[in-house]
Amino acid sequence: MKAIIGLGNPEIKYKNTRHNTGFIIMDEILKAHEITLGEKFNSYFAKKGDLLYLLPKTYMNLSGNAVLELMNFYKLSNKDILVIYDDATIEFGTFRLKKNGSFGGHNGIKSIINRIGTDVFDRLKIGVGPVPSNIPIDSFVLSNFNEEELKNIQKMGKIAIDVVESWQNQGIDYAQNKFNGKII
């Protein structure tokens, strides 16, 4: 069993913000597989076959609580999860899959690392940058995508369907080699 986890904030006012990229990407994955979410683990949650889908309702800074609860319930290891989230330090339209690393200033990832006790877990970072020099990063990531950016993020979500399938079936190394780089 493996888990795909999208990070974001649950309130409607955050729906189309850069910081909700994980939720937006997951929406496309869920639509493609005709998956309806319920609620469990203080999250929006679904199980289909041997894949678990999780969108924490805990807000970004407490995402690790929901992830740990899911991992404990299903007895998942840190190698069984793929976390999808925004990265403002990466150029817009870029995928970067990683096996581990620091939190890189992302409080959702920081929370997961702190709660599960390791920085070794697979990640799909979605580039939403660069941050304009005249805007603080927190203001930038909480700002809405413009219409064209939102359409492109949704297109990236359709490509992410293949990323998840490759990750699940061939592993992170294969997925990195196939998808890391500029997508849109």
pLDDT digits (tens, 9 = 90+) for 13-53: 999 999 999 999 999 999 999 999 999 999 999 999 999 99
**Catalytic residue (one of 3, 4, 8, 19):** 19
Mean pLDDT of 143-154: 97
User: Comparing C-alpha atoms, which of 75, 100, 69, 56 is closest to residue 2?
Assistant: 75
pLDDT at 80: 98
pLDDT above 90 covers a percentage of the chain that reads 100
Q: Which amino acid is at 147?
A: E
For 172, other C-beta atoms within 10 Å of its C-beta total 19
Mean pLDDT of 61-65: 97
pLDDT at 168: 97
What is the chain's mean pLDDT, rounded? 97
pLDDT at 18: 98
Calculated CA dihedral for residues 133, 135, 138, 144, nearest 10 degrees: -110
pLDDT at 134: 96
Q: Which amino acid is at 158?
A: K
Contacts of 67 (CB under 8 A, 6+ apart): 5, 54, 56, 81, 83, 112, 115, 116
pLDDT at 75: 98
Q: Indicate the pTM of the whole model.
A: 0.98
Mean pLDDT of 67-71: 98
User: Comparing C-alpha atoms, which of 92, 85, 46, 8 is closest to residue 101?
Assistant: 85
Mean pLDDT of 125-137: 96
Tokens found for residue 49: 């076959």
Distance CA 116, CA 27 (A): 25
- 106 among known catalytic residues: no
Distance CA 68, CA 2 (A): 14
pLDDT at 156: 97
Instruction: Provide the total of helices (H) and of strands (E) in the chain, helices listed first.
Output: 6, 8
CATH number for the domain harbouring residue 144: 3.40.50.1470
Contact between 184 and 155 under an 8 Å Cβ cutoff? The reply is yes
Calculated CA dihedral for residues 138, 176, 65, 37, nearest 10 degrees: 100
Strand partners, 87: 127
Mean pLDDT of 73-91: 98
Q: How many domains does the chain have?
A: 1
User: Comparing C-alpha atoms, which of 164, 168, 163, 165 is closest to residue 180?
Assistant: 163
**pLDDT tens digits, 161-172:** 999 999 999 999
Mean pLDDT of 72-101: 97
Expressed as residue numbers, the domain containing 32 is 2-182
Strand partners, 112: none
